[in-house]
């Protein structure tokens, strides 16, 4: 008989077609009695081609989706494109075309690539936010946010990336650099649109606790960190000679008695009034100019020397009544707290350094618990730990925590301060001076001011005829046909906003749109949203730990308060997959270590690529790509292929893990059957419960080995064909979500009529796991000395005496006294001797 070779190319195309023809992965929320399960992978930016990181991400998701289907869930598994963004503009400039053209072309190519990988997407739901049918809803959200005061316009120092020619949100600046191009970010004073994410700071923080368990702790702690909640007090310091107060935020109000001077950010709004009467104004202005022109990153570096200048004004310490000189200091940030710091040099390292430099008084107000009060003149390190209050009037000798409470009460009584909470999180700047994004639906009228576009006039469509300026600027401000419009209120000539929305806006709600992506009379179908959301399993890279994942959480809460749903969180479970590395480094063109998925699929087929991605390491860890290791995965699939074909005449479609008359089986049959059920037990636990595909695959490989080795004798034994059939069916079933094409093909070859995609995940039989004999290892004083094979139900006492009579054991216990024997049933006996 002509041997049929494993030809991935042929069978993968075939099964992809069958799934498509049979609409295997098309789902609806209507008329189903099965529970829902929503699997989502972060959608890709259509950069041109998919890379191995995508393949890994989407393979993990696909296994999740297919496996849940087999468990009887109604599974939603959609895919789309994060289609707005700058590379499209750059490419359009380079190729003298329109960003839309480049984007849609890339999408077409990448969709083919994904299809070749056999993912179980419901392609009917595909979406791209650069389509007006998508972004019109985002523009509507903007209007609703505006109505609610959740979006506002203000002039503020914002992050400007000179290379991208646009501003960036705080979350998009990493160590002073642009998250996308690594250019140093500058501060610029611009009027921009901001989303009031800070209104939700407390809820965003609080709800992280609910995500615990479903989300990696790492991501939760990163978000906590980013939100940066601090509880403390706002304290007012009256300024001498002015009828004004400087308000500070502090978490250490217990040290108020030690505040000997005041430090203000050079940008503080009170500065002009504080220096008005100072003859050295020039010098101060110089200092301010010097400090504020410094790059933010440089100014805020920890090792930057503390510098300041005296304003000439004084304020009063509300606790001591003492005069405190007011300084400007380079290390005080205008954007944190109130931009003013009460300086307590004895208990804050920065203040101490500053005090030493400008010879300002140091007063100790906290004494360490176990030590004497430090001498202020000898201090070179501030004492920032808790202790007992000293030099603090009636609060003396009380512990720090108690003093905090009492001083808070005291100041609140005096109306000189109040308990306060401060967050590091800032409002989200969503204005972008770029073209390829959703236009912000606002009109500026000389008479009426800022006028939102009426909802009925949406969408504000991004012009298709724009020509891209070569320097990267947006064409919109110069495009009269876009800019010129009539004021919706007074009808006079007016101008459109030319900024577009941050592309993180689109990804903040796409998961919800997927539930009914073609809906035309509204953003969401409430029934579909109610049924599908939240996403049960979300999968993507850790790089979005703060950015996308924080924005999306915020959007869900904001849209909830607008009335779209009663959902609180978008993603119930989050898996952050590791990177794909080659030679220990992230793949990149510049390093020349890129492995092309298309080429791998050509050489080995999609199943092998998927198998390798899932086998080489657990999902959340980095994966080191190895050209030779992937061949091992290919070999395994070949071995599986050959085995099923060789046994064609013997095996039949009996089903996986079928029940059998135990007592009629030969020992060899029983062993293979036990191995089969053990493999299923492990695979079920590792895949379904833990998303640990590498060990589930190992379990399949382990099962295939004895099938291969014992197939000859099993072919001839009475129940051998049944046992072999069941075992192979189990292997194919377990591997089906991982390598679906080859499994479908072999499944059909075995004689099954129905697609594996619709097969049910089998249950193992605990009784089949029980073997007749088991190996018990014998230790003497905890050291392995021997092992014996005994019946599983052997009596404990009998087992112990058998161990003592073991030849090797005897040697080790000779002449010694047996003190104790510990027996772990079916595993081990430890003999303790002296």
Partner RNA sequence: GCGAGAGUGGCGGAACAGGCAGACGCACUGGACUUAGGAUCCAGCGGUUUUACCGUGGGGGUUCGAAUCCCCCCUCUCGCACCA
Considering only residues 276 through 335, tell me which ones interact with RNA, judged by CB under 7 A: 299-302, 304-306, 330-333
DSSP string, 50-75: --HHHHHHHHHHHHHHHHHHHTT-EE
Among 13, 105, 180, 350, binds RNA (CB under 7 A): 350
The helix/strand/coil state of 126 is coil
Dist CA 564 CA 138 (whole Å) = 13
In sequence order, what are the residues at sequence separation of 6 or more whose Cβ sits closer than 8 angstroms to the Cβ of residue 543? none
DSSP string, 247-278: EEEES-GGGGGG--EEEE-TT-TTHHHHSTT-
For 354, 396, 611, 735, the CA distances from 635, given in Å and listed in that order, are 68, 77, 11, 15
786-805 positions binding RNA, by CB under 7 A: 787
Of 108 and 773, which has the nearer Cβ to RNA?
773
* Whole-number Å distance between alpha carbons of 33 and 471: 57
Nearer to RNA, 302 or 471 (CB): 302
- Name the minimum Å distance from CB 248 to RNA: 7
Binding string, residues 420-459; x marks residues near RNA by CB under 7 A: --x-x-----------------------------------
Strand partners, 328: 264, 309
From 635, 767, 810, 816, residue interacting with RNA (rule: CB under 7 A): 635
Cα torsion angle, 357, 360, 361, 364, sign:
negative
| Nearest distance from C-beta of residue 263 to RNA, angstroms | 7
Label residues 654-686 b or e (16+ Cβ within 10 Å = b). bbbbbebeeeebeeebbbbbbbbbbbbbbbbeb
Q: Which of 260, 503, 508, 633 binds RNA (CB under 7 A)?
A: 633
The residue within the footprint of RNA, chosen from 10, 20, 217, 457 (CB under 7 A), is 217
User: In the window 543-582, what residues touch RNA (CB under 7 A)?
Assistant: 546
Site for RNA in 112-131 (CB under 7 A): none
Which sign does the torsion angle of CA 645, 646, 650, 655 carry? negative
| Residue of the chain from 293, 359, 464, 628 that contacts RNA (CB under 7 A) | 628
| Residue 340 beta carbon to RNA: minimum distance, rounded to whole angstroms | 7
Interface characters, 40-69, with RNA (x: CB under 7 A): ------------------------------
Smaller CB separation from RNA, 14 or 645: 645
Stretch that binds RNA, among 156-164, 274-282, 553-561, 685-693 (CB under 7 A): 685-693
The C-alpha angle with vertex 283 and arms to 277 and 159, in degrees rounded to 5, equals 105
Rg (CA), the chain: 35
Nearer to RNA, 434 or 548 (CB): 548
Q: Is 603 helix (H, G, I), strand (E, B) or coil?
A: helix
Q: Give the distance from CA 258 to its chain's centroid.
A: 43
Q: Which residues lie below 8 Å from residue 329, measured CB to CB, with a gap of 6+? A: 263, 264, 265, 266, 306, 307, 308, 341, 354
Q: Which of 230, 356, 519, 603 binds RNA (CB under 7 A)?
A: 230
Task: Report the nearest approach of RNA to the CB of residue 265 (Å).
Answer: 6
Helix, strand, coil percentages in the chain from 3-state DSSP, rounded to 5: 40, 20, 40
# chain residues binding RNA, by CB under 7 A: 85
Shorter beta-carbon distance to RNA: residue 594 or 833: 833
Strand partners, 541: 577
- Least distance (Å) from RNA to the CB of residue 140? 32
Q: Which of 143, 222, 479, 790 touches RNA by CB under 7 A?
A: 222
In the complex, least distance from residue 241 CB atom to RNA, rounded to whole angstroms: 25
Count of beta carbons in the 10 Å neighbourhood of residue 287 = 17
β-pairing, 431-432 with 500-501? Answer: antiparallel
One of 93, 390, 483, 542 touching RNA (CB under 7 A): 542
For strands 431-432 and 442-445, give the pairing: unpaired
Pick 27 or 735: Cβ nearer RNA: 735
Q: What are phi and psi of 641, to 5 degrees?
A: -60, -50
β-strands 428-429, 449-452 pairing: unpaired
Site for RNA in 701-730 (CB under 7 A): 701-702, 705, 708-709
Indicate which single residue of 695, 717, 719, 755 sits in contact with RNA (rule: CB under 7 A). Answer: 695
Residue among 637 and 665 whose Cβ is closer to RNA: 637
Q: Is the peptide bond before 459 cis (omega within 30 degrees of 0)?
A: yes
Q: Nearer Cβ to RNA, position 287 or 336? A: 336
Q: How far apart are CA 44 and CA 540, in angstroms?
A: 10
Q: Shortest distance, CB of residue 824 to RNA, whole angstroms? A: 5
Q: Quick one: 685 or 749, whose CB is closer to RNA? A: 685
**Contact between 254 and 396 (Cβ < 8 Å):** no
CB of 578 to RNA, least distance (A): 8
Which of 280-288, 337-345, 375-383, 522-530 is the region at the interface with RNA (rule: CB under 7 A)? 337-345
Alpha carbon distances (Å) from 114 to 39, 80, 121, 143? 16, 11, 9, 36
**Minimum Å distance from CB 147 to RNA?**
31
99 binds RNA (CB under 7 A): no
Q: Which of 382, 697, 756, 809 binds RNA (CB under 7 A)?
A: 697
CB nearer to RNA: give 140 or 704. Answer: 704
**Least Å distance between CB 821 and RNA?**
9
DSSP structure string for 349-367: HHHHHHHHHTT------EE
Among 83, 265, 558, 723, binds RNA (CB under 7 A): 265
Among 16, 74, 136, 250, binds RNA (CB under 7 A): 250
Residue from 252, 398, 677, 741 that binds RNA (CB under 7 A)? 252
DSSP per-residue codes, 275-328: STT-TTHHHHHHHHHHHHHS-HHHHT-TTSPP-EEEEEEEEE-TTT--EEEEEE
Near RNA by CB under 7 A: residue from 162, 477, 618, 655: 618
Determine the interface stretch with RNA among 51-59, 239-247, 609-617, 727-735 (rule: CB under 7 A).
Answer: 609-617
């Amino acid at each position: 008989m002509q041997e049929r070779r494993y030809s991935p190319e042929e069978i993968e195309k075939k099964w992809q077609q069958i799934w498509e023809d049979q609409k295997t992965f098309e789902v609806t929320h209507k008329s189903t009695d099965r529970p829902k399960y929503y699997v989502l992978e972060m959608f890709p930016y259509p950069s041109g081609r998919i890379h191995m990181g995508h393949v890994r991400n989407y393979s993990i998701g696909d296994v999740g989706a297919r496996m849940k289907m087999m468990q009887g869930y109604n599974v939603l598994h959609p895919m789309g494109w994060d289609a707005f963004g700058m590379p499209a503009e750059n490419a359009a400039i380079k190729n003298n075309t329109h960003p839309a053209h480049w984007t849609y072309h890339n999408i077409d190519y990448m969709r083919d690539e994904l299809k070749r990988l056999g993912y179980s997407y419901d392609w009917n739901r595909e979406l791209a936010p650069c389509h007006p049918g998508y972004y019109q809803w985002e523009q509507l959200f903007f209007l609703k946010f505006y109505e609610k005061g959740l979006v506002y316009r203000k002039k503020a120092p914002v992050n400007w990336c000179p290379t991208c020619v646009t501003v960036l949100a705080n979350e998009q600046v990493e160590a002073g650099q642009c998250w996308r191009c690594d250019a140093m970010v500058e501060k610029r004073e611009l009027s921009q649109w901001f989303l009031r994410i800070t209104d939700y700071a407390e809820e965003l923080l609080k709800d992280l606790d609910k995500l615990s368990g479903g989300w990696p702790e790492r991501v939760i702690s990163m978000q906590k960190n980013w939100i940066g909640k601090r509880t403390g007090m706002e304290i007012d310091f009256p300024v001498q000679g002015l009828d004004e107060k400087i308000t500070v935020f502090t978490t250490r109000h217990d040290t108020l008695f030690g505040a000997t001077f005041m430090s203000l950010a050079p940008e503080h709004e009170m500065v002009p009034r504080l220096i008005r009467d100072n003859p050295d104004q020039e010098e101060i202005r110089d200092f301010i100019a010097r400090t504020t022109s410094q790059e933010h990153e440089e100014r805020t570096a920890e090792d930057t020397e503390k510098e300041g200048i005296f304003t000439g004004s004084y304020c009063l310490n509300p606790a001591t009544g003492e005069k405190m000189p007011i300084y400007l200091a380079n290390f005080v940030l205008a954007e944190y707290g109130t931009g003013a710091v009460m300086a307590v040099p004895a208990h804050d390292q920065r203040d101490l350094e500053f005090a030493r430099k400008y010879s300002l008084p140091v007063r100790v107000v906290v004494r360490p618990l176990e030590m004497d009060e430090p001498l202020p003149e000898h201090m070179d390190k501030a004492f920032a730990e808790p202790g007992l209050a000293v030099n603090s009037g009636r609060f003396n000798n009380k512990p720090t925590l108690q003093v905090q409470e009492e001083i808070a009460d005291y100041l609140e009584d005096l109306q000189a301060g109040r308990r306060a909470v401060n967050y590091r999180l800032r409002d989200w700047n969503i204005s972008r001076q770029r073209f390829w994004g959703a236009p912000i639906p606002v009109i500026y009228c000389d008479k009426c001011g800022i006028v939102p576009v009426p909802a009925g006039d949406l969408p504000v469509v991004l012009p298709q005829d724009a020509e891209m300026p070569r320097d990267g600027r947006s064409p919109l401000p110069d495009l009269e046909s876009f800019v010129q419009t009539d004021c919706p209120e007074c009808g006079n000539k007016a101008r459109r906003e030319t900024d577009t929305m941050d592309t993180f806006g689109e990804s903040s709600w796409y998961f919800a749109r997927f539930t009914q992506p073609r809906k035309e009379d509204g953003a969401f179908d409430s029934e579909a949203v109610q049924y599908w959301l939240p996403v049960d399993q979300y999968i993507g890279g850790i790089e979005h730990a703060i950015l996308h994942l924080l924005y999306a959480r915020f959007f869900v809460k904001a849209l909830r308060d607008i009335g779209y749903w009663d959902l609180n969180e978008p993603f119930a479970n989050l898996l952050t997959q590791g990177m794909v590395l080659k030679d220990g480094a992230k793949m990149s063109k510049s390093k020349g270590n890129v492995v092309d998925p298309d080429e791998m699929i050509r050489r080995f087929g999609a199943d092998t690529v998927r198998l390798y991605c899932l086998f080489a390491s657990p999902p959340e860890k980095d994966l080191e790509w190895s050209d030779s290791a992937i061949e091992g995965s290919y070999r395994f699939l070949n071995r599986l292929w050959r085995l099923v074909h060789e046994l064609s005449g013997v095996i039949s479609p009996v089903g996986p893990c079928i029940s059998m008359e135990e007592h009629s089986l030969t020992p060899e049959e029983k062993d293979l059957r036990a191995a089969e059920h053990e493999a299923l037990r492990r695979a079920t636990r590792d895949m379904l419960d833990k998303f640990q595909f590498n060990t589930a695959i190992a379990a399949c490989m382990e099962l295939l080995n004895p099938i291969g080795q014992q197939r000859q004798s099993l072919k001839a034994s009475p129940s051998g064909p049944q046992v072999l059939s069941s075992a192979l069916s189990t292997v194919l079933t377990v591997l089906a979500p991982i390598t679906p094409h080859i499994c479908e093909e072999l499944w059909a070859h075995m004689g099954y009529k129905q697609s594996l995609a619709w097969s049910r995940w089998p249950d193992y039989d605990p009784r089949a796991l029980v073997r007749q004999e088991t190996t018990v290892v014998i230790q003497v004083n905890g050291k392995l000395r021997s092992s014996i094979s005994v019946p599983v139900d052997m009596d404990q006492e009998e087992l112990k005496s058998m161990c003592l009579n073991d030849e090797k054991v005897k040697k080790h216990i000779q002449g010694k006294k047996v003190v104790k024997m510990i027996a772990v049933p079916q595993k081990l006996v430890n003999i303790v001797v002296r």
